[in-house]
Amino acid sequence: MIELWVNVFLVSLLVIITFYIMRLRRLIGIVALSGAYSLTAAAIFVNMDAVDVAFTEAAVGSGISTILFLAALRYLPVEEAHETRYPVWSLFLCGIVGLMLIIAAFALPEFGDPNAPAHLHVAPRYIEESYPLFHIPNVVTNVLASYRGFDTLGETVVVFTAGLGVIILLTGSTLSMRFKQSATSSDNQTAKFDEETRDA
């Protein structure tokens, strides 16, 4: 029972934070509030006994994302552009989609229902088999690294590719970009570069 009220409190906190994010114009405040949003979401996950998810949300969502937003904020204006017109159709569309999501939420199985479809497929096998066979207390890690090793490999490659793409885009380590930078920084290097290209 007390878990329910904790959840009600945390979800209403999420709603309040979302409301303030919409109202605020200062970008740094919005970044701070989105960090707070992630931390509250992490608290909800802890309350639902999904500690691993909560850990990830707290570390990635409220930690690193906030810092990356702050670092990106250096190239943005202090305040959000002021919107003067109010798009009625967008509000209408958002209202309809929200209503549909609420209706769909009633069809979801109750939280913790043992007969929910998600708990009947492969989950019983993981829970019953993994400890006697592998002696690993944390089933999440076991599923992640040994039952679903391919998925995790894919995730790692996705993280690697995404990071590589952003780093290449922002630091611009292509030959033409390097040439442009050296051309603006000093003529000496440009001459050297010209010599090298002529020789080649």
CB of 168 to another protein, least distance (A): 9
Footprint of another protein on residues 132-191 (CB under 8 A)? 133-138, 140-142, 144-146, 149-150, 152-153, 155-157, 159-160, 162-164, 166-167, 170-172
CB of 55 to another protein, least distance (A): 5
Would you give the DSSP letter of residue 111? T
CB of 87 to another protein, least distance (A): 31
Would you give the DSSP letter of residue 109? P
77 binds another protein (CB under 8 A): no
Distance CA 4, CA 22 (A): 27
94 binds another protein (CB under 8 A): no
CB of 83 to another protein, least distance (A): 25
> Binding marks (x or -) toward another protein, 37..76, rule CB under 8 A?
--------------xx-xxx--xx--xx--xx--xx-xx-
Binding-site size for another protein (CB under 8 A) equals 44
Cβ-defined contacts of 111-120 (< 8 Å, 24+): 111/48
Distance CA 39, CA 47 (A): 12
For residues 49 and 195, which CB has a smaller minimum distance to another protein in the complex? 49
129 binds another protein (CB under 8 A): no
What residue type is 75 in one-letter code? Y
CB of 94 to another protein, least distance (A): 31
- Cβ–Cβ under 8 Å, residues 41 and 60: no
Sequence-ordered list of residues with C-beta below 8 angstroms from that of 126, at least 6 positions apart, any chain:
139, 142, 143, 147
Apex CA 158: angle with CA 152 and CA 160, to 5°? 105
32 binds another protein (CB under 8 A): no
Distance CA 143, CA 59 (A): 21
For residues 51 and 191, which CB has a smaller minimum distance to another protein in the complex? 51
CB neighbours (10 Å) of residue 87?
10
Q: How far is CA 14 from the centre of its chain?
A: 16
Interface residues toward another protein, by CB under 8 A: 51-52, 54-56, 59-60, 63-64, 67-68, 71-72, 74-75, 133-138, 140-142, 144-146, 149-150, 152-153, 155-157, 159-160, 162-164, 166-167, 170-172
